[in-house]
Chains A and B, each alone.
Chain A
Amino acid sequence: MLLITCPHCGPRAETEFRNGGEAGIVRPRDPAALSDGAWTGYVFTRQNPKGRFHERWCHAQGCGRWFTAVRDTVTDRFLSFHPAGEQPDEAGR
């Protein structure tokens, strides 16, 4: 089982959390103006990298807050945790 460090609650078991996929996806300001291709990209296209990945997690069975974690998808090792609104400092994803 993974230990995930909630920015508010500290290290907790993976079973308390829910994964929310890639972090930092910005909703387009005017969806109606988008082409079908651009909208498809927003809704479905994700990076799925091999290595560092910024992803959202929700401490569903704890404080209920969303936060961002940087995880290495090869080793499953977590590199950092950030409360909502805080940008992970390194761009490497």
Chain B
Amino acid sequence: MAERIAGTSHLDLKNRPSTRGAQLRMLERPFKAKVGLRGGEDVIRAVEPVLGFALPRRVGETGSGSGAHAFWIGPDDWIIVYEPGREAQIAQALREACRGLHHAVIDLSERMTTICLEGQPLRDVLAAGCPLDLHPRAFRPGMVLQSHLGKANVILHYVAGNADRPFVDLYTNRSFADYVWKYLENAAREFGYEIVA
């Protein structure tokens, strides 16, 4: 297998200056397994037993189970996210379940990267370039929303936590990693941030 290179590898995050102990913590997790799934009701019925949980049907919703999250991307469009390494196996299982149906299963693991944000200032930091309503009353744990940060399209997944200590995974195209990372650093400068690498 070819060597995998993270979207921010050229930024040398390990040696990049940051503030130890700052409220906001950032890291890149480049190689999470991401599989795109498209299809109608027949595909949903075929796939749910394989996944072991229900696919989300409305904007903002996620489905979760056994270490996986399914994001609602569009009315017939999902991205399923796993820990690194299982993408080929998952994609194969989904393809087999959908055989004969009108569907698409695509391994997106190399296309997208994940930037993990943790800590209370992250709403203000994201609001520097994202027009979504990020107030705790609107953006709650377990939700996933698509929008943009500056000029880069992003998917925001509020993984867990509470209003004081939220955890958000930001998914963006791998080629935007440099832009998004520097955008976040710029926005986070006033709060201070710690890079965990």
Contact = CB atoms under 8 A, between A and B. Distances in A.
Contacts of A60: 153
Interface residues of B, number: 11
Which size class do A's interface residues fall under? 10 to 19
Contacts of A91: none
A64 interface: yes
Contacts of A9: 59, 146
Contact of A65 (B74, B131, B132, B153): B74
A12 interface: yes
A64 B132 CA distance: 16
A61 B74 contact: no
A48 interface: no
Contacts of A16: 131, 147-148
B59 A61 contact: no
A58 B132 CA distance: 17
A63 B75 contact: yes
Contact of A63 (B59, B131, B148): B59
B77 interface: yes
B117 interface: no
B74 A64 contact: yes
Interface string B104-136: 000000000000000000000000000110000
Interface of B: 59, 73-75, 77, 131-132, 146-148, 153
Interface of A: 1, 8-10, 12-13, 15-16, 60-65
6 contacts: A8-B74, A9-B146, A13-B131, A61-B153, A63-B74, A63-B77
